Structure 1
Amino acid sequence: MSSGPHFHRTRIAPTPSGFLHLGNVLSFSITATLARKTGAKILLRIDDMDQTRADARYVQDVFDTLNFLGIPWDEGPANTEDFERNYSQIHRLNLYNQALEKLYTKGLIYGCGCSRKQLATRNCPCAGKHMPFDTMDVSWRLKTDTQTVLNIQDYKGGVVQAVLPPEMENFVVKRRDGLPAYQLTSVIDDLHYGIDFIVRGQDLWASTVAQAYLASVLNEKQFASITFYHHPLLMESPGKKLSKSAGATSVKHMCEQGKAAGEIFEIICSMLGLAKPVTNWQQLADQALMI
């Protein structure tokens, strides 16, 4: 452990909506390396609330990939059975619903049945309708203020001030199917597990700001003390980030093609434009953190 910042707990939090790809491996490697440098325990948290996309094959792939590549975690499920029995987000549904009811009671959310076209043209009258909280087949949106300045703790030191980006205006906290949305479950989970350090890709900066805003209106002051590290993305081509739908970049596909773990780390290193050879996740992350 270095003499730099010290943290209590971070997390690896994949969504089981596809087979894990090389970009996930880079993020997990950086997370594990920074955890070891800062004394943080690593929690494995699999975000399976979106039941329309979550799949048992993809949950199993999380364990297969981490074990194959030797990327460690200290807390959380040991295997798929343990996850389903004890750690699925379904088990924390009451916590999410408590937060949603708190938002509704404070008048901070509204039911919205508008189409995407209506939302795009800002022709959305739903905010003033005061729908009952048990209204079916509507999304519940947070009433947001794009002028509120939020303070985000940065791993590199200091505080970054930010306001909600336009794409996060009145973002969804409860989906049409009645299940809590990602931004809300992520905030509640991070608070529930005592996370104080989060590593994620630069593409999730808008989500970081949205989650900080949500925590502030919930009066969850603990969230404001979380430190964030946003790392560069691994790109499939200029302007195109890797996707779980791109099977050729999945670890599962590469394993089936006979690639060894060290070869996978070398491929990622090459995609980052780094010439120094690597053989494990620590070496990969050390090189990536120098960029």
Structure 2
Amino acid sequence: MHLGNIFSFALTAALARHTNASIFLRIDDLDHERVQTSYLQDVFDTLAFLSIPYDEGPRDAGDFQNHFSQLLREPLYHQRLQSLRDRHLLFACNCSRKQLAGYEAYPGTCRHKNLDPDAPNVAWRIVTGDQPVVSFHNIDGSLTTATLPVAMTDFIVRRRDGKAAYQLSSLADDTFYQTDLIVRGQDLLDSTLAQSFLSSLMPDHPLQHVSFFHHPLLLNSEGEKLSKSAGSISIQYLRTHGYSAAAVYDLIAKRIHPGFEAGSWQELAACFLKSHSFQTRKKP
């Protein structure tokens, strides 16, 4: 958990409170071999340390693994995948990352090979066509319309190991938990477009009533987005070096603008939203 995560959490909490929405804590763990209990517990410890609230979701690592893990919802993902397959909207691909290295977009290598989707070690790709137009709703009530990014051409919906890929599982989870407001960094805008495209192919079009807010990213001194590997800006590192919760929030505020000050998640979110003249529709 690093400063960028907390900035996003603070905005999410503030926007949820402003729109009378519940805050749901969701953790992705389909890459199960990379999941460690200590990493999971760090999420809960950090939220408690910084007094960031949430209304629904797991309360500790054990509760997450027993009741909220994505592994428990794999049958839902496979139902969505089977529906796409039954309507001939995807194809099997056995290309390796090495084969595709250097391409800006998937070159369509396997699109017409008619590979067996049940063959071992093949991914499933959705048929996107030539940069279709996609739209999604913003939190202020406006509509964003854009072409699907080139990098999302025929994007993967099922991995080579047989597990659902991020775009499909994220969409299915939002539907399962009846999510209607999603707050993300601008680096996930392409994913929003991919998921909106995927939603448009499904009979229930699950994202048609969902609103999105894409916030700017916190950057390091070189102008690059903060990385999980940058240990010096992890909350765990700051805590062990004597930072209080208020000091952490003030550190984030000054990364947004040198003149900002904040001692809580409410003050941090208020600084950002005021500086961007933010407007939103309140829910009834």
1:78 positional shift: 1.2
Tell me the TM-score normalised to structure 1 length.
0.89
1:30 aligns with 2:11: yes
Identity %: 44
1:124 positional shift: 4.5
Secondary structure at 1:271's aligned position in 2? helix
1:46 aligns with 2:27: yes
- Structure 2 counterpart of 1:183: 167
CA RMSD of aligned residues (A): 1.5
Match of 1:148 among 132, 149, 160: 132
- Structure 1 counterpart of 2:237: 253
What code does the residue aligned with 1:62 have?
Answer: V
**What do the CA deviations read for 1:76-131 (whole angstroms, capped 9, x no partner)?**
11111111100000000000011111111111111111133543456553122223
1:224 aligns with 2:205: no
1:156 positional shift: 2.7
1:276 positional shift: 3.5
- Structure 2 counterpart of 1:7: none
Partners of 1:74 and 1:257 lie apart in 2 by: 30
Partners of 1:230 and 1:274 lie apart in 2 by: 22
Secondary structure at 1:279's aligned position in 2? coil
Q: Which runs of 5+ in 2 are unaligned?
A: 276-284
Q: Which runs of 5+ in 1 are unaligned?
A: 1-19
1:133 positional shift: 2.8
Partners of 2:245 and 2:15 lie apart in 1 by: 20
1:99 aligns with 2:55: no
1:132 positional shift: 2.8
Partners of 1:226 and 1:219 lie apart in 2 by: 16
Partners of 2:273 and 2:118 lie apart in 1 by: 47
Secondary structure at 2:187's aligned position in 1? helix
Partners of 2:199 and 2:126 lie apart in 1 by: 12
How many pairs are equivalent?
272
1:45 positional shift: 0.8
1:82-231 equivalence runs, <5 A: 82-116=63-97, 118-119=99-100, 120=102, 124-231=108-215
- Structure 1 counterpart of 2:268: 284
Partners of 1:57 and 1:141 lie apart in 2 by: 34
**What do the CA deviations read for 1:151-181 (whole angstroms, capped 9, x no partner)?**
2101233111111101111111111111111
**Native 8 Å contact 1:152 1:228 kept in 2:** yes
1:60 aligns with 2:41: yes
